[in-house]
Structure 1
Amino acid sequence: MADSARPLNRRAFLATSGLATSGLLTAVAVTGAPGTAHAAPRGRALPSDPFTLGVASGDPEPDGFVLWTRLALDPHAENGLGGMPARTVPVRWEVSSDSRFRRIDRRGTAAARPDAAHSVHVELNGLRPGRDYWYRFRVDGHVSPVGRTRTAPHPATFGPALAMAFVSCSQFEHGYFTAYRRLAEEHPDLVLHLGDYQYEYKKGVYTIPGGNVRDHEGPETVRLADYRLRHAQYKADRDLQAAHEAAPWLVVFDDHEVENNWAGYIPEEGSDTPSYDDFRARRAAAFQAYYENMPLRRRSIPAGPDMQVYRRVRWGRLASFHMLDTRQFRDDQGCGDGYKDCPAATDPKRSITGNEQEKWLLDGFRRSTARWDVLGQQVFFAQRDNTAGPVKKTSMDAWDGYAASRDRITKGWLDAKVRNPVVLTGDVHAHWASDLKADYDDPDSRTVGSELVCSSITSTGDGKDSDPADQPFLKINPHLRFYNNQRGYVLTTIGKEEMRADFRTLPTVRTPGADISTKATFVIEDRVPGVQQAYLRPYVSAKAAAQPDQELIRQTVRNETQP
């Protein structure tokens, strides 16, 4: 693609582009069936540790999970192939119910192939439900770090309370991944990553006040080699590796894994991707690299520019996680990006999920017997009007830009009598807690669900502590209950009687090693839709911050009395 290619106006993109597809790469599944050895030609022993990108696990089921690693002698190799030889490398794997591996429950060999960037995906089954397992890989005398993972409970049981954390938005340049390290130290049972795992920009394009903390390597990610290199740069970070080693992950992508604010086959407004074919090729490259670097099952192997990531994972009778894809099948953003008063936002024909995914989700609601139905998804679900006047201005990139789509999903869980619908969200680089309403324009409308939004791991830098009383969004939108603009994650405890959410925050990401603290805690009670603030640490001004911490105040506040 020529540097001088003129960016197209997003609205005219499809009208001026051809519809022919270009030749596209397809990701290769590298799996090890339980107890099966996959032979590979032996070459010279690798000269150094190939496990520089760590290990990971994901998509747990009652009898198994996916194990992942990717071999790289040099994570910073410009061709994105990690300095590996152009041959298949046999990788031995071991799984044990003992953290010291005194007894090996399962073992096998998988083939790390060059056409999959020497990534390995091992899908295991036949294990015991609701158990911790540990795993590791071996190549030529080199041993990987040990990862801990867990099987889901038996489908007929609740199992113990689930410690689940959810995260999003880790821009490498904007800070250190301390939040990932602190998350690992929480020892969760499950981690949900809700998108923007990596960012596409070249060095110096996406900057923050005070300057970026560190730099991206390579150009903006467009080609497969670019995406592979970018993932390798992120994966080489030891704090991120620690979070992957701590627990199984459920991952879904948002926009920056491909390009900012893309929608379907339409690139960002003002993108330098000049044609329909070019963007399909870019999407295919991004998806192949995403699969190669994530602990995903073979059902998610990309087919060119298409990839299956929406899926359902059941955690016994306790919870069903409906993991959504709000990028690949959406209609283009109405009236361009940003906050707008846009008639297209309420067009009933427009969708953020696409018809097939919407039907899948509504069917899941009807069939669900879970105590908690959790939507793991990318963009703000509740209405956020940013003007106090009669004119409504909302984000065209979020569910506000697809209001009819949101109404159909909400009606779906009401019609199905879903016991406890909870939406988990990333994207917006701040912590939020909100009630979901039957009618957002009527403050007295009944509450029909709950939304918890995690801040970013690093994106937009430190941010600052925030007094909710001074937050305009909370004044304009009374169903929005909490806001904080610091970096961190949300740690939840899901039990039969309630879901507790601790909003964890860091004072800085500009230097590594900061301590984590809880800014606020919210509870969602069984059969009581909406969020209830359970623990409140009063806002402390910068002047008062030098004084001893104020004592945490226990303050259970029910929805009907909450201001």
Structure 2
Amino acid sequence: MSVPSQTISRRHLLQLGGVGAATLALGISAPETAIARSAPSSAEGLFGLGVASGAPGPDSAVLWTRLAPEPLAEDGHGGMPLHAYSVHWEVATDAAFVDVVRKGHALAQPDLAHAVHPKVTGLSPGTEYYYRFRSGERYSPVGRFRTLPGPGALAERFTFGVVSCQAWYHGHFTAYKHLAADPELDLMVFTGDCIYEYGITSANLWRHGASVTAAHAAEVQTLEQYRLRYALFKSDPHLQALHARVPAVVIWDDHEVQNNYVAGTSAYGLEDDLFEHRVAVAYRAFYENLPLDLDALPHGPTGDITTGFDVGALARFTLLDTRQHRDPVPTSPEDQHAEDRTMLGAEQEAWVTERLTRSPAVWNVLASGVVLTAITENRTDQWDGYPAARRRLLDAMARSRNTVVVTGDIHHAVAAELRADFDDPTSANVGVELICTSVASDGDGAPTHGYAPDWLQHDYVKLYDGRRGYLTVSLAPDQMTSTFVIVPWIEADDTAPRQVLARFTTPARQPRLDRA
């Protein structure tokens, strides 16, 4: 499919961006009697993009895989013929699958790039499970997940990783190698930029030893191109190992569609009708390639990734969409400071406020696509461009307790205390923001650069570093421990060691960052 040169009708747009109800249902659950082919025994590497789990609950999880014996086939179908194929799945309490507790059947169909998203229910809270898929005689790798604690249960500890910005072509995913080896990890939170839409050429292919075909040199615009780009990034073995190790929850930022886009508007002047088509197919590919629940399936150019879940009584997670509902970039200081400007949209803002102010949890975790901390007013793509909306969110945090914002986007590791009023040096803290650096975007990076003074001029910014890595956050009833991890290099190879850059503790009910 290529981007049409003429105006696209709304009906055609929805056909391009949507999926029929029957197709969708069979991709989640299908009766054993459903007529479909089994993968041929000759299909080596049928599960070439690995397995994943997501949407964790105390008694459920969504499983994911995509049949792709040739992940980088340039038509975006992963080397699969355009037919439906039977996929069986099973969940067990042991890695040998002696004690199988749930099993089912789905259809991998070309309309969804041969991806399946079965939802497993009826599981026990706080329990470790193993899962795998089978089509024909071929089995997938084995994945693992742990269900969340039951409602009201106060876990002693819950540890999650925070990652973002994985420009595959800028370097190796060494961060994922180390994160997947963390024995304490319960969950991965991805805060945006799962892919990048830019063409990959000799100018930006910094990952030593890697090569791509000419098909990757074009900027991504079509459904086939988005599918191919996800396949390229997800072909990385360290990312596949992390997905198999723990459940993942994911939000998007801008590069899943186009750099700095705002709602349905391109930042580069693409006509609205054509850009709506691009958003529709980008959101479709996002759903196809990630372990998302049904609510995340887009309807044309509209998608809903906002969701939340509770880790018993210990933590409430709220995943934000800071891209799709925001007002346009301000055109003047008066516009920027208008009281009615919104980052989240009225409906999402009300939902987040209610989740915060009515939360019974010890900790409240918000996952945001862009930085909340006040830095400089010329950073209008971040919450600095939406100060009234930020103030309303900070007010809600002040009426809540123990709020932690985890963010990505800027390719730097930052730890900051969030003040009720950033313009008042005596203002009380209402939460903390932990910003993970990129996994690969911008290559090896460096401890500092020319933008550092913008950040370090503020006494509430406690850390700033521009090397690659990730963040882990460990929640306990009495305190939170946040650990920033870096890897010294990523361009040359994936052998760089894990180095702890900084560790902070935050006592419960005392929103500050104490450097350990």
Q: Is 1:429 the equivalent of 2:428?
A: no
Tell me the residue number matched to 1:85. Answer: 81
Q: Which moved further from structure 2: 476-485 or 21-30?
A: 21-30
TM norm structure 1: 0.85
Tell me the residue number matched to 2:257. Answer: 258
The size of the alignment, in residue pairs, is 503
Q: Is 1:168 the equivalent of 2:152?
A: no
Shift of 1:480: 0.9
Tell me the residue number matched to 2:431. Answer: 449
Root mean square deviation of aligned Cα: 2.4
* Cα separation, 1, equivalents of 2:233 and 2:39: 28
Tell me the residue number matched to 1:242. Answer: 241
Mark the CA change 1:467 to 1:223 in structure 2 (over 3 Å): closer, same or farther: closer
Q: Is 1:40 the equivalent of 2:35?
A: yes
Stretches of structure 2 that go unaligned for 5 or more consecutive residues are none
Residue 421 of structure 2, aligned match among 436, 439, 449:
439
Letter in 2 for 1:394: N
Tell me the residue number matched to 1:406. Answer: 390
SS at match of 2:243: helix
Letter in 1 for 2:278: R
Mark the CA change 1:85 to 1:522 in structure 2 (over 3 Å): closer, same or farther: same
Shift of 1:499: 0.8
Contact 2:39 2:85 in 1 (8 A): no
Tell me the residue number matched to 2:227. Answer: 228
Mark the CA change 1:250 to 1:206 in structure 2 (over 3 Å): closer, same or farther: farther
* Cα separation, 1, equivalents of 2:255 and 2:181: 27
Residue 360 of structure 1, aligned match among 345, 351, 354:
351
Shift of 1:530: 2.0
SS at match of 1:107: strand
Mark the CA change 1:205 to 1:220 in structure 2 (over 3 Å): closer, same or farther: farther
Letter in 1 for 2:250: V
Stretches of structure 1 that go unaligned for 5 or more consecutive residues are 6-16, 336-340, 386-392, 535-563
Larger radius of gyration: 1
Tell me the residue number matched to 1:396. Answer: 380
Matches within 5 A, 1:248-397: 248-268=247-267, 270-271=268-269, 273=270, 275-335=271-331, 342-385=333-376, 393-397=377-381
Shift of 1:141: 1.2
Tell me the residue number matched to 1:472. Answer: 453
Q: Is 1:201 the equivalent of 2:193?
A: no
Q: Is 1:25 the equivalent of 2:20?
A: no
Tell me the residue number matched to 1:192. Answer: 189
* Cα separation, 1, equivalents of 2:508 and 2:343: 29
Contact 2:408 2:436 in 1 (8 A): yes
Cα deviation 1:250-287 (Å, max 9, x = unaligned): 1011100000000101112x34x3x1110110000001
Mark the CA change 1:504 to 1:31 in structure 2 (over 3 Å): closer, same or farther: farther
- Percent of aligned pairs with the same residue? 38
Shift of 1:94: 1.0
Mark the CA change 1:19 to 1:413 in structure 2 (over 3 Å): closer, same or farther: farther
Shift of 1:44: 6.5
Q: Is 1:138 the equivalent of 2:110?
A: no
Mark the CA change 1:466 to 1:301 in structure 2 (over 3 Å): closer, same or farther: same
Mark the CA change 1:355 to 1:363 in structure 2 (over 3 Å): closer, same or farther: same
Shift of 1:343: 3.2
* Cα separation, 2, equivalents of 1:424 and 1:484: 16
Contact 2:319 2:366 in 1 (8 A): yes
Mark the CA change 1:35 to 1:281 in structure 2 (over 3 Å): closer, same or farther: closer
* Cα separation, 2, equivalents of 1:405 and 1:206: 39
Letter in 1 for 2:355: G
* Cα separation, 2, equivalents of 1:31 and 1:155: 31
Letter in 1 for 2:350: K
